[in-house]
């Protein structure tokens, strides 16, 4: 079994111990507590994703631009340990290189939730490489922000 596995049916795959899944998916749902890491930053600061996964994370998923890992606990002890013992000490910076988001329980049928619908997900405002949206059903999504550089 390879470190990065292709998902043939183009749907999110469940985590497997000591593996990083490759998923053909542009829009990524926020589930429970999820850390999103800008893959170019991880490769620049740490090295290859497969080495990072083997040594530190053990599992997660990537679409080639973003790496993410989800934890059902709140607070997410594994994710906080990953941040405190690995990401921050290796020069990754919150928002510039990674963000930790918690899924919000948004019921679209409740009037008080209407202002949250069709808006960016709270906590993503300061993340330059990530776009997000709470859709009309209350689901929360993130995706890679295409940044166009204007040459001088």
pLDDT of residue 22: 86
Q: Is 10 among the domain residues?
A: no
Q: Is 152 among the domain residues?
A: no
Q: Which domain holds residue 56?
A: 17-144
Q: Is 7 among the domain residues?
A: no
pLDDT tens digit sequence for 77-109: 999 999 998 899 989 999 999 999 999 999 989
Cut 0.85: pTM above it: no
**What separation in angstroms does the CA of 129 have from each of 47, 83, 95, 141, 147?**
19, 19, 9, 14, 7
Q: Is 24 among the domain residues?
A: yes
Q: Is 81 among the domain residues?
A: yes
pLDDT of residue 83: 93
Domain count, the chain: 1
Half-sphere exposure (Cβ direction) of 147: Cα atoms closer than 13 Å: 9
pLDDT of residue 60: 85
| Three-class secondary structure of residue 80 per DSSP | helix
Which residues partner with 145 through β-bridges? none
pLDDT of residue 13: 39
Task: Give, for all 152 residues of the chain, the pLDDT tens digit.
Answer: 344 444 444 434 343 445 778 899 999 999 999 999 998 888 887 776 666 666 666 678 889 999 999 999 989 999 999 999 889 998 999 999 999 999 999 998 998 988 999 999 999 999 999 999 999 999 999 999 976 554 54
Q: Is 12 among the domain residues?
A: no
**Nearest CA-CA partner of 11 in 25, 1, 29:** 25
**Nearest CA-CA partner of 104 in 144, 128, 80, 132:** 132
Give the containing element (helix H, strand E) for 43.
Answer: helix 39-45
Q: Is 68 among the domain residues?
A: yes
Q: Is 3 among the domain residues?
A: no
88: left (phi over 0), alpha (psi -120 to 50) or beta: alpha
């Amino acid at each position: 079994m390879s470190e990065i596995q292709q998902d043939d049916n183009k749907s999110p795959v469940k985590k497997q111990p000591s593996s990083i899944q490759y998923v053909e998916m542009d829009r990524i749902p926020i589930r429970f507590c999820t850390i999103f890491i800008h893959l170019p930053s991880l490769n620049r600061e740490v090295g290859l994703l497969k080495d990072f996964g083997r040594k530190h994370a053990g599992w997660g998923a990537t679409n080639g631009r973003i790496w993410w890992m989800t934890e059902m606990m709140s607070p997410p002890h594994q994710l906080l340990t990953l941040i405190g013992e690995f990401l921050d000490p290796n020069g990754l910076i919150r928002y510039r290189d990674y963000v930790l988001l918690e899924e919000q329980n948004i019921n679209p049928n409740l009037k008080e939730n209407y202002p949250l619908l069709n808006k960016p997900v709270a906590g993503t405002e300061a993340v330059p490489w990530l776009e997000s949206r709470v859709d009309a059903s209350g689901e929360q999504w993130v995706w890679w922000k295409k940044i166009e550089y204007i040459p001088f």
